[in-house]
Amino acid sequence: MTDYYEVLGVDRSASDDEIKKAYRKMSRKYHPDIAGPEFEDKFKEVNSAYEVLSDPQKRQMYDAGVDPNDPNGGSGGFGGAGFGDMGDFLNIFTGGAFGGGTGAGPRPRTQPGRDALANVTIDLKTAVFGDTAHVRINTFGLCQECAGTGCQKGTQPTQCPECHGKGFAQRVVRTMLGQMMTTAPCERCEGHGTVIENPCPSCLGHGRVRTTRNVGVSIPAGIGNNTRLRLANQGEVGENGGVAGDLYVDVRISSDDTFTRDGDDLHCWIQVPMSWAVLGHDLEIDTFDGPQSVSVPAGCQPEDTVTLRNLGVTHMNGNGDRGDLVAHVVVQIPTKLSDDERSLMERFAASHDSGASHVSQSARPTAGTKKGFFSKLKDALR
């Protein structure tokens, strides 16, 4: 059995991309138009190796010890090469009496392309409102020189002189049951029924070339982290202009310096002086919708929150509603006081906290048990 890994010069653990790179290198090296007609057989061998190793099912069969390109190798069942259905199975014993040949006819050159996967990272604001992101992908695209035909300009595929367009060949083999007629893909045209005598120099007859392009990705408002989006027909273009596969894009949202996200709500923490919390104060904070006014009520306690309605993340229900923006108040208690400031605070404590006789104690936080500003201030000064 031919060692296809050796033909392409790759290890048995080679990835799909490594196999594709090796194939492009070898096909250019041994193409008859470049290396000369004496390398035509080597060029066919390279194509046969790539046909097997680029197909996951065929590669699995080959790794199991069965060569999918060998007409006598079988494929592990009646569903493989040369055994399309029961009629094909009977054709082996009758020489084609049940419909002739393989029954499937020539294999079309045009094949669908594979799906592609890409990643894109967006900021939190894009997730809130939605936008268009761009990803750069490296995959197969349509060959512009031949428009996917695989032929040089002014030429087209011609009927295979070996199988006369059937795509398969018959031959007699000896078995323990006697001589039998078998069918297999034509080696000259590889089962297509036609041959490309003058392949396109850009794509070497495949109708597609490796290309790098930018793809615009529409990011819906309210998208979640690690969401996968599907872009139909934006993936790999198939052989000889076949329909392109899909492009899947994994969207990741980067952390923000100002806001954190909880579902469709946004949270931020605002630091205010102690006097603002005691007396109340109107201030302005930044939001994704621009500056917004916030009123800190008089007597605001640590860990209190101020909620701005409908300034959070857009709901994905399509009605345009949004979550809330929740501002958590962080009170800045001074740790150093001048003599005059300390005297004022002591006078206030004597007036305000003189009735305090005990400290409330419980196993868990309860409403009304938050420690006041001045209690915290006295703790800090101690």
The pLDDT of residue 374:
47
Residue 158 within a domain: no
1's CB contacts (< 8 A; 6+ apart) are: 65, 67, 70, 73
Same domain membership, residue 228 and residue 141: yes
**How many CB atoms lie under 10 A from the CB of residue 73?**
18
**Distance in angstroms (rounded) separating the CA atoms of residues 81 and 88:** 10
The pLDDT of residue 66:
75
* Residue 112 burial (C-beta neighbours within 10 Å; 0-12, 13-18, 19+): middle
CATH of the domain at 235: 2.60.260.20
Q: Rg of the chain over CA atoms, in angstroms?
A: 37
Residue 367 within a domain: yes
Same domain membership, residue 274 and residue 328: yes
Structural domain count of the chain = 3
The pLDDT of residue 263:
95
Residue 131 within a domain: yes
What SS3 state is found at 10?
coil
Backbone angles phi and psi of 356, in degrees to 5: -70, 120
Same domain membership, residue 14 and residue 62: yes
What SS3 state is found at 373?
helix
The pLDDT of residue 84:
40
Burial 256-285, CB ≥16 within 10 A → b, else e: beebebeebbbebeeebeeebbbeebeeee
Same domain membership, residue 374 and residue 266: yes
Same domain membership, residue 265 and residue 245: no
Q: How crowded is the C-beta side of 304, counted as CA atoms within 13 Å? A: 20
Sign of CA dihedral 159, 162, 165, 167: negative
| Averaged pLDDT, groups of 10, the chain, 382 residues long | 87 87 85 76 86 85 76 43 42 41 70 93 97 95 94 93 88 73 86 94 94 95 95 93 93 96 96 92 96 94 93 90 96 89 86 71 57 48 44
**Distance in angstroms (rounded) separating the CA atoms of residues 182 and 229:** 47
The pLDDT of residue 312:
97
The pLDDT of residue 365:
56
Q: Are strands 131-142 and 260-262 parallel, antiparallel or unpaired?
A: unpaired
Residue in 195, 184, 193, 194 with CA at minimum distance from that of residue 101: 184
pTM of the model: 0.62
The last residue of one of the domains, among 55, 70, 85, is: 70
Same domain membership, residue 121 and residue 43: no
Residue 75 within a domain: no
Same domain membership, residue 311 and residue 275: yes
Residue 183 within a domain: no
Residue 170 within a domain: no
345's CB contacts (< 8 A; 6+ apart) are: 337, 374, 377, 381
Same domain membership, residue 241 and residue 282: no
Residue 2 within a domain: yes
The pLDDT of residue 71:
58
**Distance in angstroms (rounded) separating the CA atoms of residues 98 and 85:** 11
Residues in the chain: 382
Same domain membership, residue 288 and residue 238: no
The last residue of one of the domains, among 17, 50, 70, is: 70
> What domain range is 231 assigned to?
111-150+197-254
The pLDDT of residue 222:
96
Same domain membership, residue 239 and residue 367: no
Same domain membership, residue 209 and residue 143: yes
Residue 184 within a domain: no
The last residue of one of the domains, among 254, 270, 303, is: 254
Same domain membership, residue 269 and residue 232: no
Annotated binding-site ranges for Zn(2+): 143, 146, 160, 163, 186, 189, 200, 203
CATH of the domain at 36: 1.10.287.110
